Structure 1
Amino acid sequence: MAEATILGDGEQTHPKPSGPVGPDVDPIETREWLESLQYVLESKGRDRAQFLLQALQVKAVQEGVELPLQLRTPYINTIPKDEQPAYPGKRDIERRIKSIIRWNAMAMVVRANKNDLGLGGHISTFASSATLYEVGFNHFFKGRGESGYDGDQIYFQGHASPGPYSRAFMEGRLTEANLVNFRRELQPEGGLSSYPHPWLMPDFWEYPTVSMGLAPIMAIYQARFNRYMEDRGIKPTEHQRVWAFLGDGECDEPETLGAITLAAREELDNLTFVINCNLQRLDGPVRGNAKIIQELEGIFRGAGWNVIKVIWGDDWDPLLNEDETGLLVRRMGEVVDGQYQKYTGMPGSYIRQHFFGKYPELLELVDNYSDEKLEKMRRGGHDPEKVYAAYKMATELKNGRPTVILAKTIKGYGLGEVGEGRNIAHNKKKANEEELREFRSRFGIPISDKDVAEAPFYLPPKDSVEMKYLHERRKALGGYVPTRPTAVPTMETPKLEEYQEFLGGSNGREMSTTMGFVRLLDKMCRDKTIGKHIVPIVPDESRTFGMDTMFAKYGIYAHAGQLYEPVDSEQLSYYKEAVNGQILEEGITEAGSMASFNAAGTAYSQHGVNMIPFFIYYSMFGFQRIGDLVWAAQDMRAKGFMIGGTAGRTTLNGEGLQHQD
């Protein structure tokens, strides 16, 4: 493979994903084609233009024309300025609320580490994603409503936990003592767990997310399980959305991207990923020599997702509008992430020289911009209007595709020279008096110079404009989030005598425990009291266990139904897929099966319905593959049965030592 060429000022050449191939040998013909396309767009609209381009593509392939791979779009926002919806909120009030939440989140970590050196905590992740969360809290995240079970399901990024804690403090759901005892949840007056943890905080957190990679796969299967509940007529879920907030570095975990094709195949347009692309992981850049946003765009677009890029704030809109040469977009695409990280915190003169200075035309474009103005131009993930536009598009798209939002931010945003965009930002846990004073002044927190060194928490008066607005917005959206009900719904259980046949042994007949279990499972599925609540989950091993007799009886769940005639359709136990199918035949994915188990096992708290998952697996040895998800199941208080289908030491000797349990 040819090596990429490294150019000056953080550039890198790559095979171009878009644009003409080779020189234009007939510019007049090219112009005629482009003018024809423009005519169709203006007179017939985008849908017609899309149809014609797809028809041309089909014809070109039929004629043997090799088409360029088009999975990445230019390095600009997906939604242009002239298509942005009007922002419905009161920006000035929302900014003050966000600033207070920023301060208290930072103070929580700083104070914890003053009291106990080495206690830890993370400031920079929430600092980079505060706008992503606050736009959601103010305008999109639906609460549980009157029923207590109709809200959105939100997987908060684990390292951003100080943010939701700080907001809950403003909402009156947490006390100052709770915040003081951050990471010390066993204190007598109560504390807060380090990360989202339903076992330690059962009335607050819903999902354990800090083991990176687990939130994405669990969110996908949660969205699919919501569809399962609706398709089986158990509970309507069409108005519930699953949100997963992730980090760009987290996308290197196999579980993060491992199930994204399932989300597209199952048409989960009730699912939104928000990836906070602050370009940094713990040690350094996520992709120093490349562009993580472009990489992820190609991956998700190729998997069938809608991709919305939020890269540039509104400061950049006038420049993009005035640039008639196309050089600004070209320059944006040339610079690699490591260099973008370098621009953060550098003076405007450096940005002028090293970013705009590549082309004389770009220098002329910013000739009337001061160095200070260049330094303050924002990234898209810090612009509420850009984020709102992306969320609105994501929630309104009903095209059968999940959506990922790639939001470019700065790690440690607002932390100043010592933490903003620095490689050490992830481990930032302390702040000296000067840093606290700078942070306070930048975000307008009314704390005096005399008190600032103690990093006191700040709450505006209860009757203030900010507090009224905060509560009004959450009331309009159905209540506060996150929250988790602790009252477990009751369920009628079958009478023991109805299962007498399983209590007296096999009466001298040879019978494997596996066969006995399958008979029991079949009877439970037929039970009038609990039958519809049983969720059999199998990773492509039903025939191994003799469960194939259940296919035709109960059906294999498929949102699209069965669009083909199965090869064994004339047999009694044929392979039956159905929209209301009960069995989750997951294919060869133990992790996906466990994620389904977690969704079903927490249905009592998510949907107010007791579901009873049975995850039957090849053999007990195989659970080593998914230990982290099993641990997560315990953390999120999942209920259900995990069953090793065969005993390795007695039935799998021929498979080798690894299968010996």
Structure 2
Amino acid sequence: MSQSIEHLIPDQFDEEARQEWIDALRSLAREEGKQQAKLLLDALDDEARVLGINRTTVPFSAYRNTIPLEDQPTFPGDLEIEERLTSIMRWNALAMVIRANRIHGELGGHIASYASCAEIFEVGFNHFFEARTHDFDGDLVYFQPHSAPGVYARAFLEGRLTVEDLKNYRQEVPNRGLSSYPHPWLMQDFWQVPTGSMGLGPISAIYQARFMRYLENRRMVRAQDRYVWGVFGDGEMDEPESLAALALAARENLDNLTFIINCNLQRLDGPVRGNGQIIQELESLFIGAGWSVIKVLWGSEWDTLFALDRDNVLLKRFAETLDGEYQDLGSKDGDYNRQKFFEKDPKTAALVKHMTDSEINALKRGGHDLKKLYAAFSQAKAHRGQPTVILAKTKKGYGMGGAGESKMTAHQAKKLDLDNLLAFRDRFSLPLTDEQVANLEFVEPSPDSEEIRYLQDRRAALGGYLPKRFQQAETQLPERPSCREYAKAALEADGKEMSTTMALVRILGGLLRGRNFGRHLVPIVADEARTFGMQTLFHQIGIYSPHGQNYEPEGAGSIV
């Protein structure tokens, strides 16, 4: 997708004229607002078509954050505490997997996936994921299956899991162990929805959001503003199920749904799109399907560089850099990034001339920046009329250093040597001695520590803990009518032959007419109702659409 950059950064055909147009646009946006500037650009685009000026536009935006700095809301939490909590959970998740593999080398598990999306999870847990309460049924979160250790690490700090639970990761027989991936059957009081194998989570999240809206539209439940969140991987988007229902979500205006795609650019065996840019590809796919797209690519450390870059030279370098190169850059230090990325163009080299190699090395990707992520989550939750996808750029194995950060082998990493473990501790300022690091001891702050009090307060404000599965429905269905009531037509066939299909349709019709029971019955037919003689149900109960019926059908005067 990077080959189309010329449409994003125009050639300097006439620098003076170009600058006049840009200055005029900036002035309009400043004086009249961004919406007026957008309307003007739309009008110019329409006029260009009238004049026969055919522009080839690209189906994605420039390789930068969707939300500009001036529109970024103030971060409402304690940034320092949340960063400390994220570091603790990152360590505990890592320690859990490595401890298990020291005991049984074949147990497996994943370190690098959660390491890449810990900040994504924490923004959700601290500010957006609402739990079930006495008057609210709660949000549903579909967690990336390979990142399950991070959810266990958080539940441990919340006091819901013990040290023994963590020690039994992936060891479910004979003890109460922690399952490899989210599944309610394996941990019936914990996981709410299954998300593995890959591809199951995205399509399930869409149909769950649709079903929640269906229940509200049919007035089977009261409207509660429940939300469905899904955290998935960029490689997972290649599963056929992942993208299969995108158009349905947009068509039904499911603004109670947000995907957060952890774009660490890697799958098991290598880059997701080594010769391209998966983020740009996903943006075009989601936009084409009718979703709102928010890109979170660069952390706050880049804001100063963007402010200095009046000629968009950074955007040009971003656009011409392939994901295979981004992966390589992510695994190297500041000096290497200066030489291989910035010094490819004298103008980008000049932008970082004042920066040390350490400062260049500290330029984070957006998916590791709590403030940038909070802005994206907030905008997604407020958006109306469309589902939203957040494309968050991260590093696979973030924090693993030479043992796995942005390395091809990151996904298979199950163990780290002592030097890498000590480096991990130092990088995240963890309160562990060398001996505790060697023994892979879990970090467990006291209940009255600043971190745990903050964590508990945030969850209390959002209704309690999540995920947490409730197995008993609070609403009881009305009593089922007797067989004589709903199956009379089928039972009293007067000696006439009757197909099983006809009997089924008559029984179904009788159930649907039941005064109390019928409204709870929803026939789901895969485009075969007429084939099975069920067309009379069209008039009896209708065909559901969230928009109603806005046309007069061809067979309006017919009962079939």
**Shorter-chain TM-score tier:** over 0.9
1:395 aligns with 2:381: yes
1:119 aligns with 2:107: yes
How many Å apart are 1:237 and its aligned residue?
A: 3.8
Q: Which amino acid in structure 1 is aligned with residue 8 of structure 2? A: S
How many Å apart are 1:478 and its aligned residue?
A: 0.9
1:78 aligns with 2:66: yes
Q: Map residues 502-521 of structure 1 onto 2, 5 A cutoff.
A: 504=491, 506=493, 508-521=495-508
* Residue-by-residue CA offset, 1:591-615 (whole Å, 9 max, x unaligned): xxxxxxxxxxxxxxxxxxxxxxxxx
Query: RMSD between aligned alpha carbons?
Result: 2.0
Return closer, same or farther for 1:56/1:194 CA change in 2, 3 Å cut-off.
same
1:195 aligns with 2:185: no
How many Å apart are 1:407 and its aligned residue?
A: 0.3
Aligned to 2:459: 474
* Residue-by-residue CA offset, 1:604-661 (whole Å, 9 max, x unaligned): xxxxxxxxxxxxxxxxxxxxxxxxxxxxxxxxxxxxxxxxxxxxxxxxxxxxxxxxxx
* Residue-by-residue CA offset, 1:529-583 (whole Å, 9 max, x unaligned): 321211211222221112221112212111111111111112234xxxxxxxxxx
Q: Which amino acid in structure 1 is aligned with residue 66 of structure 2? A: T
1:172 aligns with 2:162: no
How many Å apart are 1:355 and its aligned residue?
A: 0.3
Deviates more, 1:29-38 or 1:240-249: 29-38
Q: Structure 1: 5+ residue runs without aligned partners?
A: 5-11, 574-661
Return closer, same or farther for 1:544/1:59 CA change in 2, 3 Å cut-off.
farther
Match of 1:410 among 371, 374, 395: 395
Q: Which has the higher contact order (CA 8 A, sep 6+)?
A: 2
How many Å apart are 1:396 and its aligned residue?
A: 1.0
Q: Per the alignment, in what secondary structure is the counterpart of residue 71 of structure 1?
A: coil
Q: Map residues 189-268 of structure 1 onto 2, 5 A cutoff.
A: 190-268=176-254
Within 2, Cα distance between the matches of 1:390 and 1:17? 26
Within 1, Cα distance between the matches of 2:224 and 2:61? 31
Give the conservation status (yes or no) of the 8 Å contact 2:489–2:506. Answer: no
Return closer, same or farther for 1:17/1:562 CA change in 2, 3 Å cut-off.
farther
How many Å apart are 1:459 and its aligned residue?
A: 0.8
Within 2, Cα distance between the matches of 1:365 and 1:38? 23
Aligned to 1:105: 93
Q: Per the alignment, in what secondary structure is the counterpart of residue 95 of structure 2?
A: helix
Q: Structure 2: 5+ residue runs without aligned partners?
A: none
Aligned to 1:557: 544
Q: Which amino acid in structure 2 is aligned with residue 524 of structure 1? A: L
Give the conservation status (yes or no) of the 8 Å contact 1:272–1:403. Answer: yes
Within 1, Cα distance between the matches of 2:19 and 2:274? 38
Give the conservation status (yes or no) of the 8 Å contact 1:216–1:256. Answer: yes
Q: Which amino acid in structure 2 is aligned with residue 512 of structure 1? A: S
Return closer, same or farther for 1:556/1:510 CA change in 2, 3 Å cut-off.
same
Aligned to 2:480: 494
Within 2, Cα distance between the matches of 1:250 and 1:334? 25
Give the conservation status (yes or no) of the 8 Å contact 2:202–2:230. Answer: yes
Return closer, same or farther for 1:321/1:471 CA change in 2, 3 Å cut-off.
same
Deviates more, 1:91-100 or 1:440-449: 440-449
Deviates more, 1:50-59 or 1:112-121: 50-59
Aligned to 2:270: 284
Aligned to 1:326: 312
**Please, what TM-score do these two structures have when normalized by structure 1?**
0.81
How many Å apart are 1:465 and its aligned residue?
A: 0.8
Q: Map residues 333-348 of structure 1 onto 2, 5 A cutoff.
A: 333-348=319-334
How many Å apart are 1:502 and its aligned residue?
A: 7.0
Aligned to 2:139: 152
How many Å apart are 1:192 and its aligned residue?
A: 0.9
Return closer, same or farther for 1:360/1:140 CA change in 2, 3 Å cut-off.
same
Match of 1:445 among 409, 420, 430: 430
Q: Map residues 286-325 of structure 1 onto 2, 5 A cutoff.
A: 286-325=272-311
Give the conservation status (yes or no) of the 8 Å contact 2:5–2:319. Answer: no
Return closer, same or farther for 1:99/1:19 CA change in 2, 3 Å cut-off.
closer
How many Å apart are 1:528 and its aligned residue?
A: 2.3
Q: Per the alignment, in what secondary structure is the counterpart of residue 466 of structure 1?
A: helix
Give the conservation status (yes or no) of the 8 Å contact 1:320–1:329. Answer: no
* Residue-by-residue CA offset, 1:402-437 (whole Å, 9 max, x unaligned): 111000000000111011111111111112222222
Give the conservation status (yes or no) of the 8 Å contact 1:206–1:482. Answer: yes
Same amino acid, percent of matched pairs: 50
How many Å apart are 1:164 and its aligned residue?
A: 0.6
Q: Which amino acid in structure 1 is aligned with residue 165 of structure 2? A: N
Paired positions, count: 558
Within 2, Cα distance between the matches of 1:558 and 1:88? 39
**Please, what TM-score do these two structures have when normalized by structure 2?**
0.95
Aligned to 2:411: 426
Give the conservation status (yes or no) of the 8 Å contact 1:17–1:71. Answer: no
